[in-house]
Structure formats: structure tokens, C-alpha cells
Amino acid sequence: MTKPGDIHQRLVNLKSLLDRINRSWATRDYEDLMLFFVDIFPTLFKAERCSIFLADANSDDIWLQFGTGLKEKEIIAPKNGSIVGKSITTSQTIIQGRLDQSAGFHQEIARKTDFITRNILSVPIISIVGNYALGAVELLNKQEPFDFDEADAALLQRIVKFLALSIENNRVSDEIIRISRGMHDELTRTNEILKGKHRFIAASKPMRQVLDIASKIGPLPVNVFITGASGTGKEVIARIIHEAAEDRRNRPFVAVNCSSIPETLMESEFFGFEKGAFTGAHTSRMGRFEEASGGTLFLDEIADMPPSIQPKFLRAIQENEGTRLGGQKIHHYQFRIISASSRDLREEVAKGRFREDLFFRLFSVDITIPPLNKRPDDIVPLALMFLDEINARFNKHVRGFSSEVMELFERFDWPGNVRQLQHEVERLVALTPDGEIISIEHCSLRSHTPQPTESEPDTLSLPEHRRRTEIKLILKALQKTKGNKIQAAALLDVTRQSLHNKIKLYQIEKKLSPSFPLSEE
């Protein structure tokens, strides 16, 4: 029988392999080959310039992506009204001269680039697996007094076949990246489910409200801002929102902690860089904007984004495009932004540490996650959930918590929130022998928590007063409903499961009058 630990290790190994595949394909070596052809064609054919146009598989656009003297933004050629458009749509080679004396798209380009086109040879790049054009190669201005001829066309057609092979190999590599990333994300989700990161407890009323908002806005194309102290589960809520959108759930979820990136590396982290852009840039690397395309970019601790990067960041999300460091090619972005912070972002704006225009651009809906000590009804269910998941991960069978431990959990203030609770349960499972119940002696919280007793009626401990008040109110509600837990839960404004947990924790059944046995109805 396969153990959970074995599955987890296999997932880790496969995830690591997919990471290496992604990094190896991301170098885009085919670009070097394309640029080599752009450099060599003018010399080989005694022409002034060479341009390589590629047809967008998902639209009618024809992009000039590689070319002699190509700078800044790519040029989009129309399918109708341009020589390259005609060559691609008809899959025919076109030779044409005296263009400086005729109107057309070439004249429009001349006004933009100050380059006059006199004659053209345009050869379509035909797919090796289908009878359609991937793009076209254009040679411009053969040296006078000659024009391009059929011999030039025949030679270029032979060479262009190798270009087709290179382009289709690149498209296959892009598909491999897409598939491997999809597998990577799916494995990450599966791994996180095994580790307990995706299950979310919402026994308390505040957390039920949070989940209700997340489920409503998940399918909508709106940016979201999540506020909450560290460890409250902001990234988990972000993932729930991401996966609620059918058009994004199978696309990347890219999480970036803005506080962990040095300011000097922030731009390259988001925009990526080209090979040779700076010392140590041995290969090209896409940035987080490109990685998140089609999916969700989660920006944790957004308030820590340095002011120097904020204008560039704002422009990138406004224009949905940007360039890698050291590059000129424009990369187009399309993603949803979910940002989060443990600090009040409005206060950061008021103090001038965060741009107001970026603040309003980042979100349309905000969600506040309360700290764990403000939702005590979630503590026991969370602890039980973590116990099950950690048992599976450690391949152990720790039977449960003693009543003293559960009572301590409810009294504790949990400054580290849900993350601290998870780590404490993990520690207790590791220290407790298999088959036994977790006892108070192993708990690290005892030194940080007051130890009230029943013999201290005048204690000032708020947790102890809350415990006694809860016991008193639960007993009163159960007596009023003659032991009916559903009706009692309604009177107490808590869920039936929450009341059940409290009854078990405080051993209410022993304190209840025999005249009112507990019942569900």
C-alpha cells in the first residue's frame, strides 16, 4: 500500500524535475538562430535589410519580431494592404520593385522608420506539419541596379524551411512549458492538499463571511486586496479566489513576497532579463509578469514595495506590457492581481510611502481576515484538521488532544495566528508517541499562558473569564432548550459543530442536569 509520505516524496521529485524543464526551455535559444538569419541574409542576398514576420496563432495579427535595425516596439503589419500580409495569407512568394513610387503599407513604415523601401522579396514560412504559413521572411532593397529575381526566391525558399523547423520547435517548447507548468501547478495544489494548505476552516461567523465574499468575487475579473496579520491565511484565501474562476484555475498562480526581494533585484524579478543584461545573467529569464500571464499574480506584503519600482509597476499593469532588462522586445501581460498586506495600505498612502494611483489600481474589492484570537470558534476545528494532516504526513497515528491541551489552545492569544497553531500541532505530533494522546507536558504554550484555576475566583485573566462565561451561557442555553443542541446553537449564535466542540472541550455533559440529556432535536 502506498503511504502518504511516499506520495509526497514522489510529488516533490516530479515538481523538481518540472522546475528544471521550465528553466531549460526558458532560455529561448531559437531567438539566437533567428537573429543569426537576420544578420546573414542581407550579406548573402546583397540586400540592405531583412525582416522576419510571425503570424499570431490566436489572432489575425502579423508581428515583425526579428529584423535589421528593429528597436523598441514590434511592428504589426495588416493582412490586407501589405505585401507580407498577402504573402502569408496566400502562402505565395512575392517579388515586387519600384515600391518607392507606389503607395502601400511600406510607405507608412517609411514615415515611422525613415527607411525607404525600393524592392522586396517576401517568402512565406510554411509549416512543416500543416499547409499554412507561420509567417514570412522579407528582404528589402537589393543592391542597385538589380532587383530580386527567381534565383533569389528559390534559394531563400530552401533556407526558410529551416526557419520553419526552428519556429515550430519553439512553439512545441512553449507548449511543453505550458503543460509542465500546468502539471507543476496541479502537483503543487495536490501537494498542498496533502500538507493541509488548501483546506480552510470557517466555523466562526467572521470567517464564513470572508469565504462568502471570496466565492462571490472569485469568478469576476476584479483585482482584490486582502488585509490581515501575518499567518492568518491571506495566501490561502487568494488561492481560493483564483480557483473559483473557471478561466484561471488551470493557469499559473504566481506568489511573490515583496518584502523578501532586495530593492536592487525588484525590477528584474518582475520584468525578467535577457542574457548578458548584467553580470551573472548567463541565460534569459522571464519575469513574474510573464509567468503569471493568463492566471493570477499574488503580491504579498505589497506595502513593502520600494517607491522606486512603483511607477514602473503601475505602468506595466496599466499598459499590460513591458520589456525585460537588457531587451527591446515588448512582452504582453494578462493576469489578475490579488495583493495582500499586514499593514494598513491606506495609512501608507497617507504617509506618502505608497502611490495613491497604484493603490486604486491594485484592487476593486478588499477583504479583511481577522486574527485567530478574534475567531475562537475556529481554534479547535483547525487544531483537529492539522492533527489529521500532520499524522498523514508523518505517517503516524497520534490519537488526539487531551482536554487540558484543548483548553490551553482556546485560552492562548496566538500572536502568530493560524501558522503558529499549525506549527505547534506539528511539534506536538512529532513529540507524542504513536497511538497516544497529546498531553500538556509537551506543549510549548504553557510558559506563555496564565494558568487560572477554579480556586481563583478573582483572577484578572480574560481567557479564564471567557471560559467561565462560555460554560455558563452554554449551560443556560442547553437548560432552556432542554438539551437540544441545534436550538441551543441558534440561541448562542454559533454553529452546531462549534457548540459540539465546546461541549466536548468543557465537558459540559458532566455539568448538565440529568433532566436535560443532550439531543439533536
Of residues 295 and 282, more confidence is placed in 295
Note the pLDDT of residue 426. 94
Confidence of residue 58 (pLDDT cuts 50, 70, 90): low
Collect all residues with Cβ–Cβ distance below 8 Å to 397 and sequence separation of at least 6: 391, 434, 435
- Helix H or strand E encompassing 123: strand 120-126
pLDDT mean over 313-323: 89
Nearest alpha-carbon partner for 136 in 46, 207, 230, 41: 41
Q: Is 498 exposed, middle or buried (0-12, 13-18, 19+ CB in 10 A)?
A: buried
Q: How confident is the model over 413-423, as pLDDT tens digits? A: 899 999 999 99
Most trustworthy range by pLDDT among 103-117, 445-459, 466-480: 466-480
Note the pLDDT of residue 174. 62
Q: How confident is the model over 191-231, as pLDDT tens digits? A: 444 444 445 667 788 888 898 898 899 899 899 999 999 88
Residue 155, pLDDT > 60, answer yes
Domains along the chain?
30-172 (3.30.450.40), 196-370 (3.40.50.300), 373-448 (1.10.8.60)
Note the pLDDT of residue 421. 94
Of residues 450 and 264, more confidence is placed in 264
Of residues 476 and 292, more confidence is placed in 292
Note the pLDDT of residue 57. 65
26-40, 86-100, 175-189, 217-231: least confident range: 175-189
6-20, 114-128, 397-411, 499-513: least confident range: 6-20
- Helix H or strand E encompassing 336: strand 336-341
Confidence of residue 25 (pLDDT cuts 50, 70, 90): very low
What does the buried/exposed string (b/e) look like for 482-492 if buried means 16 or more CB atoms within 10 Å of the residue's CB? ebbbebbbebb
Catalogue the long-range contacts made by 53-57 (C-beta closer than 8 Å, 24 or more residues apart): 53/77, 53/84, 53/88, 53/135, 53/136, 53/137, 53/138, 54/125, 54/134, 54/135, 54/167, 55/88, 55/133, 55/134, 55/135, 57/171
Note the pLDDT of residue 328. 87
Confidence of residue 1 (pLDDT cuts 50, 70, 90): very low
Q: Phi-psi category of 427—alpha, beta or left, where left has phi over 0 and alpha has psi -120 to 50? A: alpha
Residue 2, pLDDT > 50, answer no
DSSP 378-428: GHHHHHHHHHHHHHHHHT----EE-HHHHHHHHHS--TTHHHHHHHHHHHH
Helix axes 150-195, 379-394, angle to 10 degrees: 110
Residue 440, pLDDT > 60, answer yes
Of residues 131 and 492, more confidence is placed in 492
Question: How far is residue 213 CA from its own chain's centroid?
Answer: 20
Question: How far is residue 208 CA from its own chain's centroid?
Answer: 24
Strands 321-323 and 272-273: unpaired
Cα within 13 Å of Cα(343), Cβ side: 16
Q: What angle do CA 110, 123, 76 make, to 5 degrees?
A: 40
Confidence of residue 70 (pLDDT cuts 50, 70, 90): low
pLDDT mean over 352-378: 89
pLDDT mean over 96-124: 82
DSSP bridge partners of 137: 52, 123
CB of 136 closer than 8 Å to CB of 82: no
pLDDT exceeding 90 applies to what percent of the chain? 20
Note the pLDDT of residue 103. 78
Residue 425, pLDDT > 90, answer yes
Note the pLDDT of residue 449. 47
The pLDDT mean for the chain works out to 81
Of residues 514 and 491, more confidence is placed in 491
Q: How confident is the model over 446-464, as pLDDT tens digits? A: 655 444 444 444 555 676 7
